[in-house]
Chain A
Amino acid sequence: MTTSSLTRATLAKDLRLEWRSKDAINSMLFFALLVVVIFSFSFNPTAEESRQIAGGLVWVAFLFAAVVALNQTWARELRNQVLDAYRVSPAPANSLFLAKAFGNFIFVAVLEALMTPLFIVFYNLRALGPTWQLPVVAALGTWALVVNGTFFAAMSIRTRSREIMLPLLLFPISIPAVLAMVEATSAILSGEYSARPWIALLATYDVVFTTGCLLLFETVLDAE
């Protein structure tokens, strides 16, 4: 089996599991919904104010919700020692990693697609800048979160209190990415300045950390 067919097989398995249980997506959706509602009535912003703060709120909600899905990534494989089976199999570790990262990307992207209409309703949002850049920012930003998130989730399952460990590792490293997502989104919503340097920064972040994860994942998976 080649790397890509292994990735596809693992991804299909994860998607089928998620489709039948809907554990991750349901908990993420409800969590993000709660964040949106609580922020909305604690700030009660006007349309003008919400343009300025929405970039931050949207990404904070997605960041917290993504951690819910990321935490479940590897926990499933611990049951019945599936992860140990992966380790002893000759399958390349990176194909497993990519499958998990793509799976998380799909979960978080579905969450974003479902939550965006809600944000627009609650915050009266209307972009004044180039709207077509928003999906680009969303795709790059989501990948930035899930690629490192998937990697750190693999590290945090080895620790005590693993659920809390993942955000502690992920958030400090993600600071530049979160800043870039928030600023790019605010730039597009307000139309006051260009989002391009931030998009370039996000793309660089994605390239750097995807490379880093692929180079080091095998080391982390085989650690004993």
Chain B
Amino acid sequence: MPTLVPSAPRASEHLNIVIVGHVDHGKSTLLGRLYADTGSLPEGKLDKVRDICRRQGKEFEYAFLFDAFLEEQEQGITIDTARTFFTWEGRHYIIIDAPGHKEFLKNMVSGAARAEAALLVIDAHEGVREQSKKHGYLLSLLGIRQVAVIVNKMDLVGYRQDVFDAIEKEYRAFLAQLKVTPERFVPVSAKLGDNIAKPSAQISWYSGPTVLETLGLFRKETARERQTLRFPVQDVYKFDARRIITGRLAAGRIKVGDRLIFSPSNKTATVKTIEAFNVEPVPTEATAGQSTGITLDEQIFIQRGEIASHEDSVPLVSTTFRSNLFWMGHRPLEAGKKYVLRLATREVECEIVALHRIIDTTNLAAREVKTSVGRNEVAELTIRAKAPITFDLYSDFAVTGRFVLVDQYDVSGGGIITEAVKDEQTVLREEARRRDIAWVKGDVGAEDRARHFGHRAALVLITGARHAGKSMLARRLEVQLVADGRHTYLLDAANLRRGLDADLSEEDTGEIVRRFGEVARLLMDTGLIVVSTTNALGGADHQAIRTLVHPTPVITVHMSKGEEAPPPDTDLAFAGPKDFEAIADQVMEELKRRGVLAQAIGAKPQFHYSI
């Protein structure tokens, strides 16, 4: 066990390192040797493993020290990543040994995703192989910029410098295409201990650092706290009198008194306190990486998945983005199929709308166009989420610029966002955002109105063909809601035509819809439930209305005379002859389920509904 030498500047510095490379190029051996030659193994471990090997009649290998599973030792391969702990010259390392076998790429990714720097091992005898390149590519995709290449098994090539130089030249050229500049190339023999913990007499032509010294030369990641704020909401707690919004800061810092805007809801509030348990004195700020909790000066309804920022630097909001993604699923990723997208704490259904190409990691320039992405393949694609999501470009913010896709029960793909793509709602969404940020609020907030009225604002949109009973239902619903003590208003789009829209012609449909949306938004800001039929508007316009009134809940009720498929996003559908009173009751039940009308919902108490 190395003694702790407290070297002042990094007395408690910790660094996560991953060892990657092609199968059998000697990653586990390198790790075992590093521990053995620095005296870092627990007492008796080396003898114990030597003893097991002797009894099983096989040659001792340093790799056996960390390949804990019987199957790994029998097959001589690493199946899953091991976290190992190593201390040298006062610096602590968590070294992750990743498997190099193609079959276990998902395990390599799991290990490498946690790392700040990587040792990439290449066998001098075999040279650069398929997984050497794939791992190099994935390191760049995972954002690991510090890479040292360890050219192993130099003993098998007679410690020849020309072999080493050729590998360095070839691999440098490959990494250059990924815009990765390796820190250095180190010639070693892990098996014999050359250049691992001490310089090798056999490799006199090399005077650079050993593997151990290479670890010491890796730098700690620069802090994300100098960036502007990104605070993804993880949960909202109300265990006691405090209503605490929790999350982990992805970037920047948050201080008491900061004005925050939550995207995509565009709600704003000021930070009242930073909450913590057993922390003295009470903190007044939190910085990137911290799991924290805040309270706000006013009760606004915030949900998991929103991202808080300061008003002068807001994240992007769209349904659609372009990305580079690697796929680890058992089933191929297919264009047109539905997946669950998870980005920071947001979770939403999505679809691959365009698969631009499969990236061949051995020949980056190649263009292969397919309709699906196989296991362990990397692709460039465009993804569209079912609802607007908040994100950044990966090149700007790592944590809010990357995502995973879930296929059925499994996280199956990981990707980084390279470009925001405008969708048909972008113009209206930006208008709504500017409007919300500039909105002058009174002292009575939405939560105050909700408590007073016993319900939240909502829009009930009734859709369907002519004479399907839309108007009858709208009237009935307004009567029933008001009789139940709920503040409700029937807004027929036709009513705006002669007044507010008097300056418009029939062709100005975009503007007609925009004005309708803004009027509905205004009525709902007063706390009303707005019921509306939509004969005056087309189906495509419903999305525009949703965008303008976002994040107020929209409940869509579709009416038809015969059986017909309702439009997408329909919440309730009714066909055939109608009992309007019964339908109105069902709509009211739906309003309860959605948390618009007060009631306890779900098995777990929904703390964010204070009414």
Are both chains from one complex? no
Chain A residues within 8 Å of B, Cβ to Cβ: none
